[in-house]
Structure 1
Amino acid sequence: MNIKITGSGSYIPTKIVSNSDFSKHEFLNEDGSPFAQPNEIITEKFQGITGIEERRYVADDLITSDIATIASQKAIENANIDPETLDYIIFAHNFGDVKKGAIQGDMLPSLASKVKYNLRIKNPKCVAYDMLFGCPGWVEGVIQATAFIKSGMAKKCLVIGAETLSRVTDPHDRDSMIYSDGAGATIIEATENEGGILAHESATFTYDEANYLFFGGSFNKNLDPNVRYIKMHGRKIYEFALSNVPKAMKECLDSCGIDISNLKKILIHQANEKMDEAIIQRFYKLYGQTPPDGIMPMSIHKLGNSSVATVPTLYDSLVKGEIENQELNKGDVIMFASVGAGMNVNAIVYKM
């Protein structure tokens, strides 16, 4: 028995927000003081570091569970399965359903339960639950689905990663330009076909690192201090990722005995182009090598950082031939890797 991704689906929001759309934003320092530089310089430097040219936001009438349902329906159709045969629905997100203009996230009932309801699944043995694991949530959901299947507790699982970060960002924080919305879903299934998940690795660092990402007040001191937004210590996250993600990737690859020369693609969380490039460089340096051209497909330039959705939407785009000059073929060995709030890191080695 092997455990494979037998279907995938995505929802990429239709609203495109370019860097130039931030030209009239009032960006402030943490102490509330204005930046000395004009927004054109701020956005130019931002693009140079992150690689982000534009990002996607959901329409005003959509929430996270809505776009997750759409991605899930596509994954179910792609896998050609009866949704009533699903044993688990594992939904990775971080902020719940946040309606346009709301100041609270809604997680009652769980978003996984909402998706199960939206899919009209009657089977009570299909267990639905949410996972809060930062940006690596979808990867960790796949790892949990793998454990359920290996243990005999499940045969088919739906693993979702979806987020609407545009609803929880401080418009006065220049970091808000990083974040975007999206949803990706996959069917994880026991199969007799060759390939599948070969190894996985996870870790949580909290001793000094727990609050590198956190909820905090707006940089605009005139706004309600009780309304909170996603905040981060960007430099600390960058240093943490460069130190810990390559190690986790190496441990994962070494544990399944695959030589790094046989690795065809690395699908890494689309957080920051410069950071992702540095992670890949350090990973290959651990083997005394340099990364080959095209090893790291990217979607961040046009889609931004949609947290848990970045890896599954990237995978779905690749398998459906939607990324220029990139492809996945049967028998290819690939790696999924992610890092995010917690601080959490994880990786999976997978054979197509």
Structure 2
Amino acid sequence: LVIGSETLSRISDPHDRDSMIYSDGAGAVVLSAVESETPVGILSHVTRTDALEHAYLLRMAGSYNPEDKRNVYLKMNGRKLYEYALKTVPAAIKMAIDKSGLPITHIERILIHQANEKMDDAIVNRLYELYGITERPEFSMPMTISWLGNNSVATLPILYDLIVHKEVDNHRLNPGDHFAFASVGAGMHVNAMVYRVPE
């Protein structure tokens, strides 16, 4: 049982515009082994940690309201975090895809942590550029941040569940489909995984 749960409303500074997209959410998934002639489920994964140099891109600090001297809130160095994500996440996804032995053209969807749509779009574009592809498939990256916000570690299980239950327009996962998960977060940590939907 893998659970992703956040209550970011408890640590969001109402005087910080970077906090405006934070939301609460939870998702869980049960992983189990199955016998299959063709490999299914998790085909490959890659993890990366850069805690020494980038530990404080996300940190706890005081409010931007000078009258609030008692509470601490989640703060981020948005520009540096954006640069870090663009440098590391596409490379990690590519490593996971290459490790799976699949060409990128076999990856139907990229399910990426819903932190910032502009950043996610740039990450996926850069991934395809690493393969020499200048135009990515139209429906390669489902997004929910515009209506669910950024609920941190819960974004991927929620996104997956919504796609499975056909609640994200133009995005379906069919038996035999391949897709990639990718996340980036505090630490800084990056994760990427290639998955094949069981038949």
- State the TM bucket, normalised to the shorter chain: over 0.9
Greater Rg by CA: 1
DSSP 3-state at the match of 1:160: strand
Q: What amino acid does structure 2 have at the position aligned with 1:284?
A: Y
1:187 aligns with one of 30, 54, 63:
30
Which amino acid is the alignment partner of residue 15 of structure 2? Answer: H
Correspondence for 1:236: 80
How far residue 324 of structure 1 moved from its aligned partner, in angstroms, is 1.4
Give the TM-score taking structure 2 as reference length.
0.95
TM-score (norm 1): 0.54
Secondary structure of 1:308's match? helix
CA drift at 1:178: 1.4
CA distance in 2, matches of 1:160, 1:246: 25
Q: String of CA shifts for 1:2-29, please: whole Å, max 9, x gaps.
A: xxxxxxxxxxxxxxxxxxxxxxxxxxxx
1:333 to 178, 183, 186: 178
CA distance in structure 2 between the partners assigned to 1:207 and 1:186 by the alignment = 31
2:101 to 250, 257, 270: 257
The aligned counterpart of 2:92 is 248
- Counterpart CA distance in 2 for 1:251 and 1:235 is 25
User: What amino acid sits opposite 1:164 in the alignment?
Assistant: T
Counterpart of 1:173 (choices 16, 22, 33) is 16
Higher relative contact order (CA 8 A, sep 6+): 2
SS at match of 1:178: coil
Among candidates 250, 258, 276, match of residue 120 of structure 2: 276
The 3-state SS of whatever aligns with 1:338 is: strand
Q: CA deviation at 1:175?
A: 1.0
Cα distance in 1 for residues equivalent to 2:3 and 2:52: 29
Unaligned segments of structure 2, at least 5 residues? none
Give 1:307's aligned residue: 152
Q: Distance in 2 between matches of 1:291 and 1:337?
A: 17
In the alignment, structure 1 residue 349 sits paired with structure 2 residue 194: yes
Which AA in structure 2 matches 1:180? S
Q: How does 1:17-56 map to 2 (within 5 A)?
A: none
What is the one-letter code of the residue matched to 1:261?
T
> In the TM superposition, what whole-angstrom CA distance separates every residue of 1:31-81 from its partner, at most 9, and x where no partner exists?
xxxxxxxxxxxxxxxxxxxxxxxxxxxxxxxxxxxxxxxxxxxxxxxxxxx
Residue 207 of structure 1: CA displacement?
2.8
**Per-residue deviation at 1:227?**
1.6
Whole-Å separation in 2 of the counterparts to 1:200 and 1:248? 9
Cα distance, 1:206 vs. partner? 2.2
What is the CA RMSD across the aligned residues, in angstroms?
0.9
Give aligned-pair identity as a percent.
56
Which aligned segments of 4 or more residues in structure 1 are displaced greater than 4 angstroms? none
Match of 1:207 in 2: 52
Residue of structure 2 aligned with 1:324, choices 165, 169, 173 = 169
- 1:159 aligns to 2:2 (yes or no): yes
Distance in 1 (CA, whole Å) between partners of 2:166 and 2:156 is: 15
